Amino acid sequence: MIDRKRLQERIEEELKRFEETHPRSKALFERAKANFIDGVPMNWMVKWAGSFPIFVESGEGAHFTDVDGHRYIDFCLGDTGSMTGHAPKGAVPAIKDRIDRGVTFMLPTEDAIWVGEELNRRFGLPYWQVAISATDANRFALRLARHITKRQYVLVFNYCYHGTVDEAFATAQEGHTICREGNIGPQVDPAQTTKVVEFNDIEALEKALAPGDVAAVLAEPVMTNIGIIHPEPGFLDALRELTRQTGTLLIYDETHTMSAGPGGYTGAYGLTPDMLTVGKAIGGGIPTAVYGFSEAVAERIRGTIDVEGADVGGIGGTLAGNALSMAAMRATLENVLTQEAYERNIALAERFSEGVESVIQERGLPWIVKRLGCRTEYWFRESPPKNGGEAAAAVDYELDRYMHLYALNHGILMTPFHNMALISSQTTVEDIDYHTKVFRDSVDALLGTRV
């Protein structure tokens, strides 16, 4: 269906255009190479579709401007970190106020009380701890799970992503756990720490949990990092039932599935995990994350952590729970990621999906669109993948690159790694409809339907 030669030519043309129109970003990138490996402060920043990353000047709401003066509609939103929109008006005053009054003390502030109560209300778990990143929240949740169960393994789903958590960079090959491709300097062979099964495979899950040596299943209730993969009917019930039967803790990572509603997928569908982690957007972009526990888990933890040795126990962090994070979480949850905001944003995400679907239909493409609340994405395959393995096999890097580049050259930033868009409270109907137009134009330019 896609003429690969033409695709290559189109990529070349778009790359040329990108370079011509971003001279300042290019110059900054060249300078940055002197002091940053690959010219970027964080290695993922090399993964953009252009030949260098664009340097940002400022962001406001659903838009940002780069150093070359181009304005973009931002559907990436910091890969969820800014799902609130940039500089969210409902949170910035409280954040500024906290900065003026001191940001970190290694002591609690009163905002913690409000945040704890609100997390309980949203996610249905009574006890909470704060970390700096979702990665840390996951690491600490796994440590505590091992601590109280005295079990060696954790179980994750194939092609999951839970941050830079060692145990999760594993995949399954002929029934054995091996390192996932690209795993940099693995600290421990994941075969010693991790069992991997495919999402939606109840039989494999049952078999893996049966020996009773898995401390916890760490899972997104809907996979989002190899594309959106919904649980099949009954799968999450089976997951809950099997973990309970085998004394395995169930940890839901809601960092991305927070797009489903104010209480994530857990709140929206009344799930009952033993532990829950969430980061990124909950502080409106200020680094923070939380991990929560059920009453039963808290009971098992209570009294088992040595107060004298608390600072060397492997959970916590000097800046975790700092005053700024707490103020940011309070303001974000109170004023930005509200029920009303979700209702509006989800309706716009539906409009985004319908727009892309209409082009797919008009042009008879074998592609699909998937959505999870205010997160939506399109796929270059005919039917929804059932699990991570199927999804990974459908990735088309060249086509991804072309679609991202075309969008970028027309003032739209999509989430890298896949064709995903997030809708914030400041995204407008005009932004969505403009995307549909650019998507149609990019397809036509590729197929030669209209150039």
Residues interacting with ligand PMP, by CB under 6 A? 79, 133-135, 138, 161-163, 220, 225, 253, 255-256, 279-280
> Minimum distance from CB of 161 to ligand PMP (Å)?
5
- Closer to ligand PMP at the Cβ: 79 or 232? 79
Residues constituting the chain: 451
Token pair 């998507």: residue: 439
Query: Do residues 373 and 260 make contact, with C-beta atoms less than 8 angstroms apart?
Result: yes
Which residue has the CB atom at the shortest distance from ligand PMP? Answer: 163
Encode burial over 315-339: b for 16+ CB neighbours within 10 A, e otherwise. Answer: bbeebbbbbbbbbbbbbbbebbbee
Between CA 230 and CA 236 the distance in angstroms is 10
Q: Which of 355, 419, 451, 449 is nearest to 1 (CA)?
A: 449
Query: Do residues 124 and 266 make contact, with C-beta atoms less than 8 angstroms apart?
Result: yes
Query: Do residues 255 and 282 make contact, with C-beta atoms less than 8 angstroms apart?
Result: no
> Minimum distance from CB of 138 to ligand PMP (Å)?
6
- Closer to ligand PMP at the Cβ: 248 or 288? 288
> Do the bridges between strand 249-253 and strand 275-278 make them parallel or antiparallel, or are there none, so unpaired?
parallel
Tokens standing for 196? 């991997």
- Closer to ligand PMP at the Cβ: 267 or 279? 279
> Minimum distance from CB of 433 to ligand PMP (Å)?
28
> Minimum distance from CB of 158 to ligand PMP (Å)?
15
- Closer to ligand PMP at the Cβ: 19 or 79? 79
Give backbone dihedrals phi and psi of 359, rounded to 5 degrees, phi first. Answer: -70, -45
Q: Which of 401, 366, 326, 273 is nearest to 10 (CA)?
A: 401
Query: Do residues 231 and 266 make contact, with C-beta atoms less than 8 angstroms apart?
Result: no
Between CA 195 and CA 155 the distance in angstroms is 5
> Minimum distance from CB of 151 to ligand PMP (Å)?
22
> Do the bridges between strand 275-278 and strand 289-293 make them parallel or antiparallel, or are there none, so unpaired?
antiparallel
> Minimum distance from CB of 20 to ligand PMP (Å)?
32
- Closer to ligand PMP at the Cβ: 129 or 246? 129
Listed in sequence order, the residues at least 6 apart from 327 whose beta carbon sits closer than 8 Å to its beta carbon are 94, 95, 97, 98, 109, 111
- Closer to ligand PMP at the Cβ: 109 or 138? 138
Between CA 381 and CA 355 the distance in angstroms is 18
Single-letter amino acid, residue 43: N
- Closer to ligand PMP at the Cβ: 134 or 341? 134
Token pair 């039917």: residue: 383
Q: Which of 390, 387, 389, 365 is nearest to 378 (CA)?
A: 365
> Minimum distance from CB of 22 to ligand PMP (Å)?
26
- Closer to ligand PMP at the Cβ: 62 or 281? 281
- Closer to ligand PMP at the Cβ: 360 or 420? 420
> Minimum distance from CB of 135 to ligand PMP (Å)?
3
> Minimum distance from CB of 81 to ligand PMP (Å)?
7
